[in-house]
Amino acid sequence: MASTLERIAPFKNESIKTFADAADAAAMQAALAEVKGDFGRFYPLIVDGERVETEKRIRSLNPAAPSEVVGLVASASKGDAEKAIAAAERAFEGWKHTSADARADVLFKAAALMRERRFKYDALLVYEVGKSWPEADADVAEAIDFLEFYAREMLRYAQPQPVTPIDGERNEMIYVPLGVGVIIPPWNFAAAIMAGMAAAAIVAGNTVVLKPSSDAAVVAAWFVDLMHEAGLPKGVLNFVPGAGGEIGDLIVGHPKIRFVSFTGSKEVGLHVNDLAAKPQKGQRWIKRVVAEMGGKDAIVVAADADLDAAVEGVAVSAFGFQGQKCSACSRAIVEAPVYDAFLEKLKARVAKIAVGDPSDRSTHMGPVVNAKALESIARYVEIGSREGRLLFGGKRLESDGYFLEPTVIADVAADAVIAQEEIFGPVLAVIKAKNFDDALAIANNTEFGLTGSVYTTDEKKIERARDEFFVGNLYFNRKSTGAMVGAHPFGGFNMSGTDSKAGGRDYLLLYLQAKSISRKV
């Protein structure tokens, strides 16, 4: 009899909508109106399947119009966090014995529900984090992909694993879950990364305490409800948004927590790793940390490159979702013979980027996520303007929203501040390289190692970069963003994290432990 994995269709990535289809555009407009009509709704904590109200609340604002409250979300106290961990610990005793088929089925059902409500999720991301229509849809499509992919992966890991036969013994190796975990996702891929991290841990048989970013807490609340609607038992997924200073250290350092999965900045990631490494009284394990952190990603443009293609790749990678991607191109490293021509073409291309309210279909670039981010990015623009030549942009738009022009700073030294520190905004440093050797040396000259691209038609340069460009995700003659689940397992080296390879065949191993069993016959 065929296994469940053999009976289901092979994984296929969800198509991303361009909204060129009139029906899609109309559905998106309707979803935007519907979601806006629900602004200001309250979202409670969910602990052990119960909705818990709190006095303290998080105001999730529309970054394009900060006077608009997308939602009011309960903010957990230390006591609430303790209760959530206790609930997850109780739920683990049943969930760990639930079959892989049943666990995977919850993810399949959740994917189907999200697919049905796709435009509403798209609209929420437009409002809550300022994504353009296509960027929002790509985020939701990736969330669906993670649900579908990890469900199939758990079924694969549940199958008999190959072991070397030994005469007189019956041997097997099985994978068992870890226990209670903390999931701390970012705001920039508010649906995809949040759903992917939580779903991977859950389908592997673990139970979860989910602490979303305060800038994207509403979409996380939607997802938790969706998972329960898909059949997830109470206590398996507990929703505890809250201030990091209030509950962050408590949940990461708690002795009952077996693993921590974090995506965010280098500074916070290192703190999480440090705290998790210190055993607490009553702790019986070494905590596992899965960390996806920052990047200072480069696109190398060789002298033989197709300049038009390179300019397009750099512009899309640098300014898609306002540069607020850990994979965004923040350094364009261009060989000297084509440097001036590249700058001329890039300036013309960036000038075409439409900045405005992302609820408008024609907008390519919306606001940055909040006032703190805007201030930080503006400081880097000031620094960069002194370190190099401001080629384009640099100004804040006259608006109540957090809008900044796409900014290009040329003639930047490889060791300049804006060439070394993660800005996480629409600021691109352009660096002149003497030759391809120099370009590769500059590309590797940061503490990060997440994504990189090379534009060249020379096969020898491709082979060299393949061996020497030290990043977790390397692309040739294409943009540095847009990793697809299954096709481009995602995760970086050095200070970019633990190279966890989200959306790859190794990822679920981070939430499992192998048990070898031998019986004499």
Would residue 494 count as lying in a domain?
no
Instruction: Assign residue 361 the CATH number of its domain.
Output: 3.40.309.10
Would residue 403 count as lying in a domain?
yes
The reply to whether 231 and 196 lie within a common domain is yes
Strands (E), 274-328: 288-292, 297-301
Give the DSSP letter string of 77-106: -HHHHHHHHHHHHHHHHHHTTS-HHHHHHH
The reply to whether 96 and 219 lie within a common domain is yes
Would residue 462 count as lying in a domain?
yes
Q: Tell me how far apart the alpha carbons of residues 430 and 350 are, in angstroms, rounded to a whole number.
A: 13
419, two tokens = 């060439």
Q: Work out the angle at residue 411's Cα, subtended by the Cα atoms of residues 406 and 415, and round it to the nearest 5 degrees.
A: 100
The reply to whether 262 and 302 lie within a common domain is no
The reply to whether 325 and 436 lie within a common domain is yes
- At 386 the three-state DSSP class reads helix
Instruction: Assign residue 185 the CATH number of its domain.
Output: 3.40.605.10
CB of 496 closer than 8 Å to CB of 293? yes
The reply to whether 302 and 286 lie within a common domain is no
DSSP code for 286: P
- SS percent in the chain: helix, strand, coil, step 5: 40, 20, 35
CB of 187 closer than 8 Å to CB of 369? yes
Burial track 471-495 (b if 16+ CB lie within 10 A, e otherwise)? bbbbbeebbbbbbbbbebbbbbebb
Res 1: pLDDT: 58
pLDDT digit string (tens) for 123-170?
Answer: 999 999 999 999 999 999 999 999 999 999 999 999 999 999 999 999
Would residue 465 count as lying in a domain?
yes
Compute how many other C-beta atoms are within 10 angstroms of the C-beta atom of residue 387. 18
The reply to whether 374 and 245 lie within a common domain is no
Q: Tell me how far apart the alpha carbons of residues 376 and 423 are, in angstroms, rounded to a whole number.
A: 8
The reply to whether 339 and 191 lie within a common domain is no
The reply to whether 119 and 152 lie within a common domain is yes
Task: State which residues form the domain around 113.
Answer: 25-293+499-520
How many domains does the chain divide into?
A: 2
pLDDT digit string (tens) for 59-115?
Answer: 999 999 999 999 999 999 999 999 999 999 999 999 999 999 999 999 999 999 999
DSSP code for 359: T
The reply to whether 270 and 393 lie within a common domain is no
Which residues does the annotation mark as catalytic? 292, 326
Would residue 19 count as lying in a domain?
no
Would residue 20 count as lying in a domain?
no
The reply to whether 467 and 513 lie within a common domain is no
Would residue 339 count as lying in a domain?
yes
Q: What is the percent of the chain where pLDDT is above 70?
A: 100
The reply to whether 264 and 392 lie within a common domain is no
Below-70 pLDDT ranges, the chain:
1-2
Would residue 15 count as lying in a domain?
no
pLDDT digit string (tens) for 318-350?
Answer: 999 999 999 999 999 999 999 999 999 999 999
The reply to whether 211 and 224 lie within a common domain is yes
